[in-house]
Amino acid sequence: MHGMLMAAVLAAAIAGAAEPATYELKLVYIFESPRPEFILVIGNSGFKTVPALEKFIATLPAGTKLTWNPGCERFGGEPLLSSEKEMAAFRAFCRDHEIDFVLVPSG
């Protein structure tokens, strides 16, 4: 619950800004279990699933720029990066919400 409250506070701060802001999406790897887990992070807010990330993104003002430079190292199973279909759906979601999603090519 604390994370959702922080996400709501961040979204409210963004919404109150005079012009749309630029944010960076990061992917954090957690290596505490036999298989890596992932958290998608914007600012100080983390999301365990793409639907949770999308719920937050839907609160951002139109024109917000979201940049992601995930690099080229992969372990497998990374959200969005492991499925072209999932990435295409995420791009469409951002487009539908007028979010300027920029995926920086790796390599």
pLDDT digit of tens for each residue in the chain (107 aa)? 555 556 665 666 655 555 778 999 999 999 998 888 999 999 999 999 999 999 999 999 999 999 999 877 777 788 888 889 999 999 999 999 999 999 998 75
At 3 the pLDDT is 58
The residues pairing with 28 across neighbouring beta strands, listed in sequence order, are 39
Q: Is the distance from CB of 79 to CB of 49 less than 8 angstroms?
A: yes
At 15 the pLDDT is 57
Q: Is the distance from CB of 38 to CB of 27 less than 8 angstroms?
A: yes
Give the span between the Cα atoms of 72 and 86, in whole angstroms: 18
Q: What's the count of helices (H) and strands (E) in the chain, helices before strands?
A: 3, 5
The model carries a pTM of: 0.77
Give the span between the Cα atoms of 12 and 86, in whole angstroms: 27
User: Strand 100-103 to strand 65-68: parallel, antiparallel, or no bridges (unpaired)?
Assistant: parallel
